[in-house]
């Protein structure tokens, strides 16, 4: 699937192009066993989140997962459930008449 290039604003105000994945070479998870970030149902996500916690490209990773609808794994330090919650919160904040969107 081709990703349309678009500028996205991260949580800390950084702007980056979601089509540009050069941020991945700076990721703390580079070289780490990918299975750590895709735990079996009910398994702990603590170790994967610890890798993400101090990562300098955590925001880019999270935005990539949100924009691309990643449904599995730990991305940007968040689980599938946490990303769903964040998508819902953002969607509600963008609705007309919502004080947070003004």
Q: Phi/psi zone of residue 77: left (φ > 0), alpha (ψ -120 to 50 degrees), beta?
A: left
Region 84-102 average pLDDT: 81
pLDDT in tens, 40-76: 989 999 999 999 999 999 999 999 999 999 999 999 9
pLDDT score for 99: 60
Region 20-37 average pLDDT: 92
Mean residue pLDDT across the chain: 82
Whether the CB-CB separation of 65 and 48 falls below 8 Å is answered with: no
pLDDT score for 97: 76
Distances (CA, A) of 79 to 8, 14, 42, 50: 21, 22, 12, 12
Helix/strand/coil percentages in the chain, nearest 5: 45, 10, 50
pLDDT score for 28: 95
- Kind and range of the H or E element at 7? strand 7-9
Contacts of 70 (CB under 8 A, 6+ apart): 64, 83
pLDDT score for 9: 40
Whether the CB-CB separation of 17 and 5 falls below 8 Å is answered with: yes
What pTM was estimated for this model as a whole? 0.74
Task: Decide if pLDDT at 25 tops 50.
Answer: yes
Q: Within 13 Å, how many C-alpha atoms sit on residue 21's CB side?
A: 9
């Amino acid at each position: 699937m081709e990703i349309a290039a678009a500028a996205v604003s991260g949580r800390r105000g950084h702007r980056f192009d979601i089509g540009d994945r050069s941020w991945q070479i700076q990721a703390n998870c580079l070289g780490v066993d990918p299975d750590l970030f895709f735990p079996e149902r009910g398994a702990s996500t603590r170790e994967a989140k610890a890798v993400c916690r101090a990562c300098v490209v955590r925001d880019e990773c999270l935005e990539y997962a949100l924009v691309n609808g990643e449904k599995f794994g730990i991305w940007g330090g968040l689980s599938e459930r946490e990303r769903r919650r964040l998508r819902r919160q953002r969607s509600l904040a963008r609705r007309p008449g919502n004080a947070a969107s003004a």
